Amino acid sequence: GLGRTDVMRVNPYNAVIGLGHARGKLTMWKPTSVKPLVTMLCHKGSLTAVAFDRGGHLMATAGGDQKIKIWDLRKFEVVHSYTARAQSLDFSQKGLLASSNGSLVEIYRDCGGQDYKIYMKHRMVKGYQVGKVLFRPYEDICGIGHSMGFSSMLVPGSGEPNFDTFVDNPMETEKQRREKEVQALLDKLQPETIMLDPDVIATVRQLKKKQKKTKKEIEGEIEGAVEAAKNIRVKKKTKGRSKPSRRAKKKEEEVLRAKRPLLDQHKEASGHPDKKLRIGDDTELPKALQRFAKNRQS
């Protein structure tokens, strides 16, 4: 019920796939999910383009309502909205945003606070319809695919100048490329590890605020409380008040006092609560029993 899917992009940060639908909604999927992880209403018209930032926290969408929106994926909120058409969007490694509309290609730059302003404009030869724009990694070049073939334009400051050869090596040889493919297959993670927040993996799960104790834990606490109560020394008194029977009775009272708060928990954990549930004021009684209630229901 979301309409035709014309746009599909992968988030490079967490490998989650974003799909743009004809009814203005965007859905995010992982390989093992039957239902979408996130469903967002992004535009009033159909989605025409989607792009994810390299860091994975920013997303740009364009729709048929002639709007380009910048989203913060940590809160799923719109950061900025611009009135413009776009058939294709793409983020560079340094955060520049390229958009295409007809024969016009526009480059936007972040001026601070995810506020994107026009950085460059390039218009193709009349009659050329741009279909796709993509930045080339580690180079200041933007590739343009149009109706008459392929072109490229120079965009200063778009590529990452300092690369890590252990992650990506633009100067790699054929032998290094083959070894990299083998290593990538060996180090490939399972599909279950793909999620919206990959930082959750290898972290300690926080305890719930109200976590019920098990039956064995409660029994252990009762035994510990009984032993502690038995070891309490009763003070000796004079004039016949320190009889053995009285001292034994005092010890029994201390044991019962220690066990009493834990016995109710034990009964609840075993499924046999002692106290009956009281009927609240908001519960509806049958007509035959309403006259016995304290506050008669009208």
Angle at 49 between CA 44 and CA 50, to 5 degrees: 100
Mean pLDDT per 10-residue interval, the chain, length 298 residues: 90 92 93 90 93 92 93 92 93 94 93 89 90 93 94 92 84 90 85 81 68 73 77 69 74 78 66 54 69 60
In sequence order, what DSSP letters do the residues of 169-214 get, joined into one string? -TT--HHHHHHHHHHHHHTPPPGGG--S-GGGTTSPPPPPSS-PPP
> Which residue is it, tokens 């590890």?
193
All domains of the chain in start order, with CATH: 5-180 (2.130.10.10)
Alpha-carbon distance of 166 to 187, in angstroms, equals 13
Q: Token pair for residue 4?
A: 């035709």
Torsion of CA 206, 212, 214, 219, to 10 degrees: 120
What's the pLDDT score for residue 271? 60
E strands of 2-125, at which residues? 5-10, 17-21, 25-29, 38-41, 47-52, 58-63, 67-72, 77-83, 88-91, 97-101, 104-110, 116-123
Q: Which of 210, 232, 226 is nearest to 261 (CA)?
A: 226
What's the pLDDT score for residue 298? 46
Q: Which residues does residue 143 pair with via DSSP β-bridges, in sequence order? A: 134, 152
